[in-house]
Structure 1
Amino acid sequence: MMVTLDSSISFLIYITAVSSAAAGVTEAFKSVIPFLATDYEAKENCWEDQYHAARLMHYKRFFNLVISVLAAGVIFGMLGLDPALILTGSESAYVKNSWQLGTWMWGIVAVFGSPFFASLLKILESFKQSVDSNLPPNRPRRKVSGTRE
């Protein structure tokens, strides 16, 4: 088993798709649970109110992330595909028991690593396009003139 450009792109597509689906589940929860969608501000300009508002905002962010991680873990478990097997280019990426701890770890990786994975996916896709088109790599060019005798 080897990691190839195609298997890396497949892996990143799978991870970002699950992350996007988990974000959609989180948005659905926000529409049902008002606490998750409300922005909290201090009523008065005093330390106690500011502290209370900040604490509520931190709770809101925490619960939104927990919902995203759980949703991503459930999605990975339901699909039954191991992202590591996709990355290594195995013949089959299906796993018999997809409800193990590793599945939930991939949920954490997908949720917290999704911005990085999305950027990396764009880079690898553009690199693949340049490799497939057989164009030479872009090199900086500068016009120069020499002294003429």
Structure 2
Amino acid sequence: MVSLDSSIAFLIYITAVSSAAAGVTEACKSIVPFLATDYEPKEDCWEDHNEAARFMNYKRFFNLLISVVSAGVIFGALGLDPAAILLGATSAYVENPWQVGTWLWGIVAVFGSPFFASLLKILEGFKQQVSTDHPPNRPRRKVTGPRDDR
């Protein structure tokens, strides 16, 4: 069953793997110059603008591909199933972590990381608010305006 704690654990796991995949991508950018180069048109003509845009799209595609593959490898190396973490299972380890489902979690982690990070902040704030034993703030005395005694 999904609980607040299991949801937070799931989001922490997903964002940690996504951050690690982003680190691997940055390391690859420092090794492969193509992945870090910003392409600009040589001259102000349509052909050069199209060529520069095509190279920028190739660069973005390969950066995302490296992130997805590295996230899939990280999920496989850890051998944990994020769905089992979310559902609060007693054990989140899988017998064969190198199946297609592992790679799909890599895609989810890379493309959903901004959403998951925002959701994690919201849930942690909610948990902190719920875990405090203080009653909600209420006024201590009534505030009234001037009376109209007619």
Calculate the TM-score normalised by the size of structure 2: 0.92
Equivalent-residue separation in structure 1 for 2:70 and 2:136 (angstroms): 41
Name segments (4+ residues, structure 1) moved above 2 Å. Answer: 134-139, 143-147
Partner of residue 28, structure 1:
27
Partner of residue 124, structure 1:
123
Letter in 1 for 2:6: S
Letter in 2 for 1:100: Q
In our comparison, the structure showing a higher alpha carbon Rg is 2
Partner of residue 112, structure 1:
111
RMSD: 1.6
Q: Which runs of 5+ in 2 are unaligned?
A: none
Calculate the TM-score normalised by the size of structure 1: 0.93
- Report the CA distance shift for 1:138/1:32 in structure 2 as closer, same or farther (over 3 A): farther
Equivalent-residue separation in structure 1 for 2:129 and 2:72 (angstroms): 35
Letter in 2 for 1:13: I
Q: Which runs of 5+ in 1 are unaligned?
A: none
Partner of residue 135, structure 1:
134
Letter in 1 for 2:15: T
Partner of residue 76, structure 1:
75
Equivalent-residue separation in structure 2 for 1:123 and 1:5 (angstroms): 11
Q: Measure how far apart 1:135 and its partner are.
A: 3.5
